[in-house]
């Protein structure tokens, strides 16, 4: 049985939710990058958050190591923390920007959007 | 939803490519569409306002970002030559203002900002031909426009010739300059790419006045200027921070006055 371990606590409240993809809206203007990025000025990047506790769901595609670590944590929380909820699949976005020579450049940046989360 | 302007594989050959002025070039409404998802455009930084993105680059961006949403990769498209980085250099040249016919038109581009970490895979020069009302029309109606490296006495290596049928209609002429680009890369020209445009009619080698064919530069809007488009593929995953660092360096260089430094400090703090 998974015990209530310390790692669920965050800002005084227990985050019960399981590892999943959550919204993360990125605004390049707020980052101060809107003076060189022409488009897009914002996009949805998502992020991964939640518990990787026992039993792990198969859609979280845990590695064998994460399975072992989760078992160890559920037996003795002091022996090891639970495995981590991280992006397991990412996708690119296109960015149109101005380079240092004032030229307009199109570039495809890999790993900019979280498509899937999992326990690792 | 508007379909992405994906170039079909059976599209016109690259170096014969006379495009209608609307192919890949959109009306101002298109600009609003592209930025519809990005409010606050009007508040764009002055520095950025001085650079008006060419319609062709906006069309590239819109096509490939729409394709991404469909799960397709930009480098799959033949038109992108499997590139994931496409850099545009806008023509800043001026024709000597004189009444004599314009036999040759020089295009000089500073390509020194191209990253040497990327594998270049293609280059083309796109020139909008805007024939005047009294456009020339030869009986054969076949003109040859050629690009030669500057200083070549004749159309030597890596000249590109494109037939100009119905020279009366405005069109984007797309000239493949990849061979010329490669030969420039092999012999260091310090980041400068210099080409000369010339036109002949039919089989004769006599050069025709380029103004009468619509290559006059005077009075062109920013988005009607010729652009050199260079296609590259970065070998490793592109790191956003490269560009950010480049831009901090260049904005530090380009802003000197106290007021700007304040802006720079603010911008830097914001970026951090």
Do the Cβ atoms of B85 and A108 come within 8 Å?
yes
- pLDDT of A53-77, one tens digit each? 988 888 888 999 999 999 999 999 9
Whether pLDDT at A46 is above 50: yes
Q: For A31, which residue in chain B has the nearest alpha carbon? A: B271
Nearest to A117 by CA among A82, A69, A85, A91: A85
Strand order in the sheet with B192-201: B105-110, B192-201, B143-149, B160-164
pLDDT at B77: 62
Pairing of strands A20-22, A47-49: antiparallel
Predicted local distance difference test score (pLDDT) of residue B222: 87
For chain B, first and last CA: distance in Å?
A: 37
Q: Which burial class, exposed, middle or buried, applies to B188 when counting CB atoms under 10 A from its CB (0-12, 13-18, 19+)?
A: exposed
Inspect the interface and report whether the beta carbons of A98 and B54 lie closer than 8 Å: no
What is the predicted pLDDT for the residue at B152? Answer: 66
- Predicted confidence at residue B10, as pLDDT, reads 38
Chain B neighbors of A41, CB-CB under 8 A = 35, 38-41
| Whether residue A55 has a cis bond before it, omega within 30° of 0 | yes
Nearest to A31 among B35, B53, B271 (CB): B271
Residues of chain B with pLDDT under 50: 1-45, 156-158, 256-272
Indicate left, alpha or beta for A46 from its phi (over 0: left) and psi (-120 to 50: alpha): left
Contacting B with CB below 8 Å, chain A residues are 29, 31-36, 38-42, 91-94, 96-111
pLDDT the model gives residue B150 = 83
pLDDT tens-digit readout, B151-163: 765 554 445 566 7
> pLDDT tens for residues A2-36?
444 444 444 445 557 999 999 999 999 999 999 89
Check A39 against B249: CB less than 8 A apart: no
Chain A residues whose beta carbon lies within 8 Å of the beta carbon of residue B53: 38, 96, 104
CB contact under 8 A, A98 and B110: no
User: What DSSP letter does each residue of A84-113 carry, written as one string?
Assistant: PEEEEEEEEEEEEEE-TTS-EEEEEEEEEE
**Nearby residues of B88 by Cβ (< 8 Å), 6 or more positions away:** A103, A104, A105, B54, B56, B57, B227, B228, B229, B230
Percent with pLDDT over 70 in chain A? 88
pLDDT number for residue B42 = 40
**CA atoms in the 13 A half-sphere facing the CB of A18:** 10
pLDDT for the residue A106: 94
Give the Cβ contact number of residue B209 at 10 Å.
Answer: 14
Share of chain A above pLDDT 90, in %: 72
Reference A96, options B117, B266, B243; nearest CA is B243
State how far residue B158 is from chain A, nearest Cα, in angstroms.
Answer: 25
Asked whether the beta carbons of residue A32 and residue B271 sit closer than 8 angstroms, the reply is yes
Give the nearest chain A residue to B240 (CA atoms).
Answer: A109
Contact B54 A104 (CB under 8 A): yes
- Whether residue B164 contacts residue B144, with contact meaning beta carbons closer than 8 Å, is answered with yes
pLDDT at B137: 60
Cβ–Cβ below 8 Å for A35 and B47: yes
* Chain-chain contact of B48 with A38 (C-beta, under 8 angstroms): yes
Given this model, what pLDDT does residue B83 score? 87
Q: How many CA atoms lie within 13 A of B161 on its CB side?
A: 14
As a whole number of angstroms, the distance between CA B141 and CA B154 comes to 23
What's the pLDDT score for residue B263? 39
Q: How far is B82 from chain A (nearest CA, A)?
A: 11
Sequence-distant (6+) residues with CB within 8 A of B176 are: B14, B15, B122, B123, B124, B160
Q: What is the model's pLDDT at position B60?
A: 93
In this prediction, residue B96 carries a pLDDT of: 78
> Using a CB-CB distance cutoff of 8 angstroms, which residues of chain B are in contact with residue A33?
244, 271
Which residues make beta-bridge pairs with B19?
A: B172
pLDDT at B38: 39
User: To which residue do tokens 């030229």 refer?
Assistant: A103
Q: Are B74 and A108 inside 8 Å of each other by CB?
A: yes
Cβ atoms < 10 Å from Cβ of B232? 22
């Amino acid at each position: 049985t998974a015990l209530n371990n310390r790692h669920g606590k965050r800002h005084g409240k227990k985050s019960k939710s399981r590892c999943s993809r959550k919204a993360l809206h990125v605004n390049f203007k707020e980052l101060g990058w809107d003076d060189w990025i022409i488009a897009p000025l914002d996009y949805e990047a998502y992020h991964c958050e939640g518990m990787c506790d026992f039993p792990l769901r198969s859609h979280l595609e845990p590695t064998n190591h994460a399975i072992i670590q989760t078992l160890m944590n559920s037996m003795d929380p002091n022996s090891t923390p639970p495995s981590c909820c991280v992006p397991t699949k990412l996708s690119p976005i296109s960015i149109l920007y101005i380079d240092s020579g004032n030229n307009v450049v199109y570039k495809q940046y890999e790993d900019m959007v979280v498509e899937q989360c999992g326990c690792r | 939803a508007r379909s992405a302007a994906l170039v079909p594989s059976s599209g016109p050959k690259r170096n014969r490519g006379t495009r209608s002025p609307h192919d890949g070039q959109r009306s101002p409404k298109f600009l609003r569409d592209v930025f519809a998802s990005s409010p606050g455009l009007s508040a764009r930084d002055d520095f950025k306002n001085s650079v008006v993105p060419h319609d062709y680059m906006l069309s590239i961006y819109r096509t490939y970002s729409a394709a991404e949403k469909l799960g397709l990769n930009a480098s799959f498209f033949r038109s992108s030559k499997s590139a994931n980085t496409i850099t545009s250099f806008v023509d800043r040249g001026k024709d000597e203002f004189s009444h004599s016919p314009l036999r040759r038109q020089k295009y000089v581009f500073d390509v020194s900002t191209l990253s040497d970490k990327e594998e270049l895979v293609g280059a083309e020069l796109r020139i909008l031909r805007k024939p005047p009302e009294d456009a020339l029309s030869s009986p054969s109606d076949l003109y040859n426009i050629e690009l030669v490296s500057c200083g070549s006495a004749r159309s030597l290596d890596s000249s590109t010739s494109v037939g100009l049928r119905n020279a009366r209609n405005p069109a984007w002429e797309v000239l493949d300059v990849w061979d010329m680009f490669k030969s420039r890369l092999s012999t260091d020209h310090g980041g400068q790419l210099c080409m000369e445009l010339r036109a002949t009619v039919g089989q004769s080698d006599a050069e025709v006045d380029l103004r009468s064919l619509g290559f006059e530069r005077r009075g062109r809007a920013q988005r009607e200027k010729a652009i050199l488009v260079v296609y590259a593929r970065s070998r490793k995953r592109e790191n956003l921070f490269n560009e950010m660092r480049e831009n901090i360096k260049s904005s530090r260089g380009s802003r000197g006055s106290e007021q700007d430094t304040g802006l720079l400090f603010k911008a830097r703090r914001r970026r951090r």
